[in-house]
Structure 1
Amino acid sequence: MNHDAYDEPIRYMNNVLSIHIWQVVKTYTHVNWNPRWHYHKELEFLYMQEGSMEIRVQDQLYRLDPGDVFVVGSMQPHITRKTDENKLAYLVLHFDLQPYFDPALLMHFRYFSEIDRPLCSLNGQIKQKEEMRAELTRTILLLFQELERKSIGYEIAVSLQVRQLLLTLLRHDDSFRHAAVPYEQANAPSLRPVLDYVNLRLSEKIQMSEVSAMMNMSYHYFSKYFKKVMGLSFVDYINVQRIRKAERLLLTEDIGITEISERIGIANTAHFYELFKRINRCTPREYMRRLVPERTIGDSS
């Protein structure tokens, strides 16, 4: 299996809407896993029409059959394969969340930004809940029709349907039953420049003094404000994002632990091991054994 890095580029059907939906049809007979893990910033929804396939999202394996709907979170490495020699057909929907963060959706910024957990964790509920699955299916099909026909005003219709998809996830999520969004979480969008700044500079040394100045806040006020809004400290947020990037590198690049540690901005390899184990409850080597049993990684762990 080839493990070259693959940050999949999504070619939008409409650049303003940052969206693409198409039908995939596979009639070939081989049933091996696709050659490369891939990931992308866009959310991904799959709607199964005919045949069956398996999808692995990091260390979780799922089987998809006709009528199933599946969601993959932003930047989550995943890989698929056919399960038999029969014809396979399904719809794939990709869209970037950014254009859809209006004031109402921004109230749930933390949820849809997957700060606490990936949206992929909802797939068990989607599989079990017929009403949730039916709503998602109906919305995906409407999106497909609108983007195929491009009737007058389709941009408005598509924007509404994307929000309907997100609303369906939120309302059917049994683990998310807050009656009201706390004031601090409602202010999360104001930190968007900080989050973007961090994600672009994970390989560098990130100084909170620079970030607080960028936000026109004192060092201590920014530290307290970030923790109130995000639910974790600025340093912890950076560490989580670095380990998530390390996971993608482990899956998609054939490089050793020392280089991975350097590329995520952690010069001390022992510290990298400590953080990785704290967040994933396993070492990098154990992580790779679960996900790619046939591959080894450089440097001991």
Structure 2
Amino acid sequence: MNPIRKSFSDDPLFPFDFVYKDTKSPQRELPDHLHDRYELIYVYGGKGTLFIDQKFYDMGPGDIFLIPGNSIHRALPDTVEPVTSTAIFFAPSLISHENLDDSYSSLRCFELARKWKHYKIETSAQLQKHMVMALEDIHLELNQKNPGYRYAISLQLQQVLLRLNRLVMSMHVSELDDARIGPLWMNKILHYIAQHPDQNLGLSALAEQASVTPAHFSRVFKQLTGMNVTDYVNAKRIAQAKELIRTTDEGLSWIADRCGFESLPHFHRMFKRMTGQTPGAYKRKR
């Protein structure tokens, strides 16, 4: 299976995409995928499960999900009551601004979500009302395209992120729900894959570590993540490689070895297959 790369608009001056009040059946939902864009999801109604990075979350009315760039994720809508939601995709450059306050970052809520490994926000009625109005305003701006509509959308997004930042920064990690769905060994294995990309992460080795048979491991893993073990491990390794390319000055050989690729050519081949570009091209763009 080739990992999915979600396509976005190619306007470098306005790196923003918007899917408004979309109801997806399980058949229409993308399989596990990742992308550079930051993603914010607001749920209006319905039921489902959302897999992000290493955890599974129930989806329900009023829920907000924060998905940092390069996080493997997949929605699994309920077959009877599929989720209706709005999704915002944006690049950090869209909300860049002069430092008016050194202690504030518009992306702080995403940074904390990644740090805490918790990507779901359960909102109050007041915040839900604000979200619905802000998303409707963005939808109107995109449809009407009046002068300054891009600036208006950027301001609306900044307002949404400001409210979410203040809420998330007032929380403590101990207040967050355990988000565990499925057997305990599954959650431990997902954590192990994330922390040890350079180790043997083959089906047999992981099944032995989980103390279950390879057949049972494979069946449960595919059922919960929608992805087989090999494809998931490769996607996770590529996501970590992209993070190292962006945040370090290390060479590609070191990054390939650190992320568990058997050789530099193998790393190049898998990176291009999953991202559409070579590691070198990706590094030059950064």
TM-score calculated relative to the size of structure 1: 0.51
Per the TM alignment, residue 106 of structure 1 is displaced from its structure 2 partner at its CA by 8.0
CA distance in 1, matches of 2:253, 2:136: 44
Q: Confirm or deny that 1:7 pairs with 2:5.
A: yes
Q: Secondary structure at the match of 2:161?
A: helix
Q: Aligned pair 1:253/2:244, yes or no?
A: no
Structure 1 residue runs without a partner (length 5+) = 178-239, 270-301
Q: Which runs of 5+ in 2 are unaligned?
A: 173-193, 202-229, 242-251, 261-286
Measured after TM superposition, the shift of residue 70 of structure 1 is: 2.0
Once the two structures are TM-superposed, the CA of residue 140 in structure 1 deviates from its matched residue by: 2.3
How far is the alpha carbon of 1:157 from its aligned partner? Answer: 0.8
CA contact 1:22–1:93 (8 Å) conserved in 2: yes
The alignment status of 1:82 with 2:77, answered yes or no, reads: yes
Q: 2:54 aligns with which of 55, 59, 62?
A: 59
Aligned CA distance change for structure 1 residues 119 and 102 (closer, same or farther; 3 Å): farther
SS in 1 for 2:41: strand
TM-score (norm 2): 0.54
Q: Paired residue for 2:255?
A: 264
Tell which deviates more after alignment, 18-27 or 160-169.
18-27
**CA 1:253–1:84 in 2, change beyond 3 Å: closer, same or farther?**
same
The Cα of 1:132 is off from its aligned counterpart by 3.5
| RMSD, aligned CA | 4.3
CA shift in 2, pair 1:251/1:160, >3 Å? same
Cα separation, 2, equivalents of 1:243 and 1:255: 8
**Structure-2 change in CA distance of 1:254 and 1:161 (3 Å):** closer
Contact in 1 for aligned 2:36/2:91 (Cα 8 Å): yes
1:47 positional shift: 2.1
Task: Say which SS state the counterpart of residue 173 (structure 1) adopts.
Answer: helix
d(CA) in 1 for partners of 2:171, 2:236 = 38
Q: Aligned to 1:16, what secondary structure does the other structure show? A: coil
Q: Is the 8 A contact 1:6 1:38 kept in 2?
A: yes
2:34 is the counterpart of 1:39: yes
How much does 1:158 deviate?
0.8
**Equivalent residue number for residue 69 of structure 1:** 64
**Is the alpha carbon distance of 1:262 and 1:143 closer, same or farther for their aligned partners in structure 2, counting shifts above 3 Å?**
same
Identity %: 16
SS state of the match for residue 135, structure 1?
A: helix
Cα distance per residue 1:176-212 (max 9 Å; x no partner): 79xxxxxxxxxxxxxxxxxxxxxxxxxxxxxxxxxxx
**1:148 Cα deviation after fit:** 1.8
Q: 2:157 aligns with which of 149, 157, 162?
A: 162
Instruction: Answer yes or no: is the 8 Å Cα contact 1:19–1:96 preserved in 2.
Output: yes
Q: Greater Rg, structure 1 or structure 2? A: 1
SS, match of residue 85 in structure 2:
strand
Say if 1:43 and 1:72, in contact at 8 Å, map to a contact too. yes
The alpha-carbon distance between structure 1 residues 68 and 120, as it changes in their structure 2 partners (threshold 3 A), is farther
Check whether the contact 2:23–2:85 (CA below 8 A) recurs between aligned residues.
Answer: no
1:36 Cα deviation after fit: 2.7
Number of residues paired by the alignment?
197
Matched, 1:95 2:90: yes
Shift of 1:255: 11
